[in-house]
A and B are shown apart, each in its own frame.
Chain A
Amino acid sequence: MSDGFEAAEFIAGFIAESQEHLASANGHLLSAEEAVAKGKATPRQVRELFRSLHTIKGLAAMVGIEPIVDVAHAMESVLREADRAAGRLPAGSVELLLNGVRAIEHRVQALAEREPVAAAPSKLVDALNALRQEGGDGPAAALATSLAPELWAKLSPGERGQLVQGITEGRRGVVVEFVPTTARASEGINITSVRERAATVAEIVKVVPQSRQTTGESTGGLSFALIVLTSGSDSALMEATATTPEALTSIALTGLNAAPPVVDEGLPDDAILHRGVVRVEVSRLDEALERLSALVVTQFRITRTAAAMRTQGADVRALYQVIAENGRNLRDLRASIMRARMVSVAELLERIPLIVRGLSRATGKEARLSITTGRAELDKAVAERIFPAVVHLVRNAVDHALELPAERRAAGKPSTGLVSVACQQLSDSQLELTVSDDGRGVDAVAVARRAGAAVPTTDEGLLELLTRPGVSTKAEITTTSGRGVGMDVVKRIAVDELRGALSMRTVKGQGTTFSLRLPLSITIVDAFSFVCGGETFVVPVAMVEEIQEIDLAQTIRGPDRRKAPRDVPDRRRASRATDMIHRRGEAVPVLRLEEILGLVATDDPRRKAIIVRRNGDPFAFTVDRMLGQQEVVVRPIDDQLVRVHGVSGTTDLGDGRPTLVLDLVALGGRLVSDSAGALA
């Protein structure tokens, strides 16, 4: 486990990212300037600016650069109001905002040069704040739509704002009337399923139940009005909600509060918004990967054939050139497909704000959420797996870590707690996701008591206790989290399933940060193929420390408890020899993989050993022989019948049969950590 919050590293990240946002903010301000002078609205620019400043503010808050937070906050407030006013920036605001960007730039620059950061320019901040007060109409006045009054009355101010803002942003507001019937119910179409499906094509603002005259087919005399915002077509909405065109009513902004004429060449309307973007089912991408892996196998065969031809004396130099070129093309193709499979982390975390909002309502805690993802991307398969873990960490942060407002004030903290989700790409293949809060910190004593263990002295030790099944961060069970399922699941997903790392840093009274280090992809990996016990397997190269020859006749023999009396209680430990080799001053246990897998052992003592390391401990697994190294497409094993420890998936090496992808690290771990769930 490593300290993911190395300050210098973090500040470097902050500088790089804020410079990017500042550049984009400048660009958008300049493009807005002309329109603003003519009193026209620039909703797209305002939104982009808002995003940039919001991100800068969040980042600056995380690294503790208060002057930047202050300026960004003042700018963000102006922009938020402009956004609510349909993208109309107040007169004179562009100049002030440009000054604001410059003020932030200076401070970022100072930070980069390790100079002291000047305080926030108070005149500028005051001027920005004054701009908001003059802002005129204010957000409430802008709220009026063609929505039927009885529905409008059911919306909270927040929901009204959400609806108006959504329409202002260029999405369409639609009311979908859903009438449950017995016939529909029997097909599984009910309000719950419709709501779920609608959520896939639209943002649901509210679902309002309405009573209606009972007709022959409708059940319960009830219908539902789904008030949604969508960028999709009516037909997509109808399909999702199993309704007909008559059930859809558009919502328009009305009266003097209607959006001003929008002059914005860049503003995407529906058609433009979708141009250049294709939604693809993951299964099709998987299919493309399958085809690619077949090509990789073919390449492998051609190379082998060419080598055979050469040994027979043929001149294959030209052929080798073609093979090399083909190899490059395959790598490029692979990269393209990989890119197509990537989803942005920002998109992955889209639902987090809603979750936090719901939780803070349910718990009475005030929570502010900051999401900083930059442009980080993850393979779809990783994203899907890690999402529940992230949700869990965010829930924990609000539900367990943040204190109630009164308690926070008593502790001298702002009454609103901060939950930050941030993400940073560490390398070509790794990314770090962090979830932090400024709450009470994990109570080590309480956790130790519940785990029935000694109070840990380090964060690592505390995390180890927290991730034991059944140990929660909070004593009592709440409705939202803390049923005892929890951190163990987060660890299982991040560490066991994704082969990443989980770490934690907690300071009593100040907050907790969880960091997840994740591979960007688990789909295509570089792997060694080998034969063991007559079967072919692959193991990811990243998992292997070294492959070496060993002579089993030369290994150091530990006690062989197979020869111990049969009443030795632990059958599994007793069934293996404990050989060791000496390697660079380390005693490395030698594990006969074929024995562990229940396969036929070979007699030849001269073997290859694959050396892996788990938590710093080395293991050597003996195999019959190595076959080669190639990129393989790993398919997860998703049926419980074949989900076993130590097997992380399957791949096709070109013979049309599945080949198992072994997780030797997990196998090694299983052999030390416990004796349950024996293989074979």
Chain B
Amino acid sequence: MSDLHVLCKIGDVEYVLSTDDVVQMESFVGATKVPGARAEVAGLVQIRGRVVPVLDMRVVFGLPAVAPTIDSRVLVMKHAERTVGLLVDSAREVLRIPAENFQPPPPVVSRQTEGLVKAVVQVRDRLLMLIDSTKVISEEDEHGP
């Protein structure tokens, strides 16, 4: 795993994602809604000729969906054969965080986020949560369409 991590914001909270998982990052101006898909699914976007489903991370984390802003970003993840975009409120920085700095999350956090927070890390004076993107994506499968 590389040390590089994308720092993003979902609501007012900062999270990091490993750049190993992120294939590209795109601005977001809205998605084609898919009637009947689950609430977390923001819709479909076309990114460089590919049609990619987008999960609204706000909804995944229990926040209300909001209209896209100039800061909204889609982090395109590749997971096995699937390509899924994660919509976050902003994603501006890439940080180098050595693997040994990460600590397991407190059990309560781990349980309450259903394992979506894989680790926590202190960077300068900020506490950041590492999102288990594989889990986020596969979490969605288990419920089925």
A652 to B53, Cβ gap below 8 A?
no
Interface membership of A188, Cβ < 8 A = no
Which one, A31-39, A168-176, A214-222, A657-665, is touching chain B? A657-665
Interface string of A234-271 (1 = CB under 8 A from B): 00000000000000000000000000000000000000
Q: How far is the CB of B129 from chain A (nearest CB, A)?
A: 23
**Given A639-B82, A658-B44: A644 touches B51 (CB 8 Å cut-off):** no
Residues of A621-680 at the interface with B, using a CB-CB cut-off of 8 Å, are: 635, 637, 639-647, 650, 652, 656-660, 677-680
A644 to B34, Cβ gap below 8 A?
yes
Interface membership of A559, Cβ < 8 A = no
A656 to B50, CA, bound (A): 10
A641 to B36, Cβ gap below 8 A?
no
**Given A635-B51, A642-B37: A657 touches B84 (CB 8 Å cut-off):** no
A657 to B41, CA, bound (A): 16
User: Could you say which of B31, B34, B140 has the most chain A C-beta atoms within 10 Å of its C-beta?
Assistant: B34
Q: Which of A596, A650, A677 contacts B32 (CB 8 A)?
A: A650
B49 to A287, Cβ gap below 8 A?
yes
B53 to A639, Cβ gap below 8 A?
yes
Interface membership of B141, Cβ < 8 A = yes
User: Could you say which of B32, B38, B51 has the most chain A C-beta atoms within 10 Å of its C-beta?
Assistant: B51
Interface membership of A598, Cβ < 8 A = yes
- List A contacts of B30 (CB < 8 A): 657
- List B contacts of A643 (CB < 8 A): 145
- List A contacts of B121 (CB < 8 A): none
B35 to A647, Cβ gap below 8 A?
yes
Interface membership of B46, Cβ < 8 A = yes
Interface membership of A535, Cβ < 8 A = yes
B53 to A657, Cβ gap below 8 A?
no
Q: How large is the interface on B (under 10, 10 to 19, 20 to 34, 35 or more residues)?
A: 20 to 34
Interface membership of A599, Cβ < 8 A = yes
Q: How far is the CB of B48 from chain A (nearest CB, A)?
A: 11
A389 to B142, CA, bound (A): 26
A640 to B145, Cβ gap below 8 A?
yes
**Given A656-B46, A657-B46: A680 touches B32 (CB 8 Å cut-off):** no
A2 to B11, CA, bound (A): 58
A657 to B50, CA, bound (A): 10
B38 to A290, Cβ gap below 8 A?
no
**Given A639-B84, A640-B145: A599 touches B49 (CB 8 Å cut-off):** no
Interface membership of A324, Cβ < 8 A = no
**Given A650-B51, A658-B51, A660-B32: A641 touches B45 (CB 8 Å cut-off):** no
Interface membership of B8, Cβ < 8 A = no
Q: How far is the CB of A667 from chain B (nearest CB, A)?
A: 10
Interface membership of B107, Cβ < 8 A = no
Q: Which residue of A lies closest to B46 (CB)?
A: A658
Interface membership of B55, Cβ < 8 A = yes
Q: How far is the CB of B137 from chain A (nearest CB, A)?
A: 8
User: Could you say which of B36, B38, B49 has the most chain A C-beta atoms within 10 Å of its C-beta?
Assistant: B36
Interface membership of B111, Cβ < 8 A = no
**Given A650-B32, A658-B32, A658-B51: A642 touches B45 (CB 8 Å cut-off):** no
A640 to B141, Cβ gap below 8 A?
yes
- List A contacts of B31 (CB < 8 A): 657
A581 to B133, CA, bound (A): 50
Interface string of B3-35 (1 = CB under 8 A from A): 000000000000000000000000000111111
Q: Which residue of B lies closest to A650 (CB)?
A: B51
B36 to A646, Cβ gap below 8 A?
yes
**Given A635-B51, A639-B84, A650-B51: A644 touches B46 (CB 8 Å cut-off):** no
Interface membership of B144, Cβ < 8 A = yes
A647 to B82, CA, bound (A): 19
- List A contacts of B36 (CB < 8 A): 597-598, 644-647, 677-680
A489 to B145, CA, bound (A): 18
- List A contacts of B44 (CB < 8 A): 642, 650, 658, 660
Q: Which of A642, A660, A678 contacts B41 (CB 8 A)?
A: A642
Q: Which residue of B lies closest to A286 (CB)?
A: B49
B140 to A641, Cβ gap below 8 A?
yes
- List B contacts of A644 (CB < 8 A): 34-37, 145
A642 to B35, Cβ gap below 8 A?
no
User: Could you say which of A644, A652, A677 has the most chain B C-beta atoms within 10 Å of its C-beta?
Assistant: A644
Residues of A187-229 at the interface with B, using a CB-CB cut-off of 8 Å, are: none
A596 to B43, CA, bound (A): 17
Other than the given A643-B145, A646-B36, 7 more pairs (CB < 8 A) read A535-B33, A599-B35, A637-B51, A639-B83, A639-B84, A642-B34, A659-B32
Instruction: Please list the 3 inter-chain residue pairs (A to B) with the smallest Cβ-Cβ separation, ordered nearest first.
Output: A644-B36, A679-B36, A597-B35
Chain A residues at the B interface, C-beta cutoff of 8 Å? 287, 290, 535, 596-599, 635, 637, 639-647, 650, 652, 656-660, 677-680
A-B contact pairs, 27 of them (CB 8 A): A287-B49, A290-B49, A535-B32, A597-B35, A597-B36, A599-B35, A635-B51, A639-B53, A641-B38, A641-B41, A641-B53, A641-B55, A641-B84, A642-B41, A642-B43, A642-B53, A644-B37, A647-B35, A647-B36, A650-B44, A657-B32, A657-B45, A657-B46, A658-B44, A658-B51, A680-B35, A680-B36
